[in-house]
Amino acid sequence: MKHIFIVNPHAGPESAAARIEALIKKAELRDYEIYQTKAPLDATEYVRSRCEAEPDETLRFYACGGDGTLQEVSAGAGGFANAQVACYPCGSGNDYVKYYGEVGDFTLERLQKGRVEKIDLLSVNGRRGINACHFGFDSFVAEKMTHLRRKAVIGGKNAYKTSVAIGLFRAMNNDYTVEADGEILNPRGKMLLCTVANGGYVGGGYHCAPRSDNADGYLEVCFVNPISIPTFLKLMGAYRKGLHLDDPRFDKFIKYRRAKSVRVTCPKPMPVSIDGEVVNFSDFTVTVDHGAVNFVVPEGLSANRLEAAKQG
């Protein structure tokens, strides 16, 4: 097996390349390479080209960065039987790995001893994602976050909170029409936000999809109608903790569905966030690539935190 570390030098407050190389040497890995990404989508093209060039070699790609780096590596590895994807989270959000446990659980040592599980990917008009596609209030926030990540005080881990504060005044009533497996969720074409998830968390720790199963071939669709700012602020804490699907206070605001396909239309191109990358669409469809990626779950962690909770 070849161990290939894909390092995003721009993820997190500082480049992790030197730290990762020191960890690799400490782990005494013999057959390894380090590749630093050069531009957006570079990781996807690099991983895909390696998989095509070495079809008989088992290639384990370590995504060293945040959710964006993991998304790019997974998109490149998707569909290749010889590829495995591991994540060494060192970005500012690291939301996808929270599906399994804590960010600190994804150490190089535990990844080396981990097991490989097949997981799903999202496909948004052909663009693959691993964690979540969200739009409305959430995509406005994600777009703002890209400008705030490296700002002092209001950036870094505070970037999401800062972006939310701005969104309260500018993104509470949004023009998207959402259809889940043929059912139109908002005939009037208005909403606060909608999350179509494969993982469980967005925004640095908001448990948006507490019932998610990332290997079942279904999308988790959480649609929220427009609400007032006071109501939003009152309910935000419960939403962060993932209690919104069982809290009766949310019943008149939320529609929750599990679907194979979600189509969204807008009167004009509007922002859509795919694992933190914001693109603009006026008509897009989200589908599932079932079992598309071989994902490395660190030693000691359940393949599904939801199932682990049920068991005990």
107 and 228 together in one domain: no
Give the integer Cα–Cα distance in Å for 288 and 246: 26
**Range 30-59 average pLDDT:** 95
Residue 170 confidence (pLDDT): 87
Same domain? For 174 and 145 the reply is: yes
- The single-letter DSSP state of residue 298 is P
Q: What dihedral angle (degrees, nearest 10) is formed by the CA atoms of 243, 246, 247, 248?
A: 160
Same domain assignment for residues 84 and 35: yes
- My answer on whether 145 and 174 are in the same domain is yes
Asked if 98 and 201 touch (Cβ cutoff 8 Å), the reply is yes
311 pLDDT higher than 50: no
Same domain, 155 and 69: no
- Over residues 133-150, the pLDDT tens digits come to 999 998 888 888 777 766
If DSSP codes are grouped into helix, strand and coil, which group holds residue 121?
strand
Is 271 in the same domain as 182? yes
DSSP per residue, 224-268: E----HHHHHHHHHHHHTT-TTT-GGGTTTEEEEEESEEEEEEEE
Answer yes or no: is pLDDT of 153 > 90. no
pLDDT band at 307 (very low <50, low <70, confident <90, very high): low
What mean pLDDT value characterizes the chain? 91
75 and 148 housed in the same domain: no
Output b/e per residue, 114-129; b: 16+ Cβ within 10 A.
beebebbbbbbeebbb
H/E stretch holding 140: helix 137-148
- Do 152 and 7 lie in one domain? The reply is no
What number of H helices and E strands is found in the chain? 8, 16
List the CATH number of the domain containing 81.
3.40.50.10330
Q: What is the CATH number of the domain that holds 224?
A: 2.60.200.40
Percent of the chain with pLDDT over 70: 93
How many domains does the chain divide into? Answer: 2
Same domain, yes or no: 141 and 284: yes
Residue 272 phi, psi (nearest 5): -135, 130
pLDDT at 310 over 80: no
| Alpha-carbon distances of 177 from 10, 139, 171, rounded to whole Å | 35, 15, 16
pLDDT of residue 199: 96
**Is the domain of 160 the same as that of 279?**
yes
What's residue 305's pLDDT? 57
Q: Which domain holds residue 149?
A: 129-290
Smallest Cα–Cα separation from 199: which of 307, 120, 92?
120
pLDDT recorded at residue 173: 95
pLDDT in tens, 160-216: 778 888 999 889 999 999 999 999 999 999 999 999 999 999 888 889 999 999 999
Let me know whether 55 and 43 are in one domain.
yes
Say yes or no: 189 and 285 in one domain.
yes
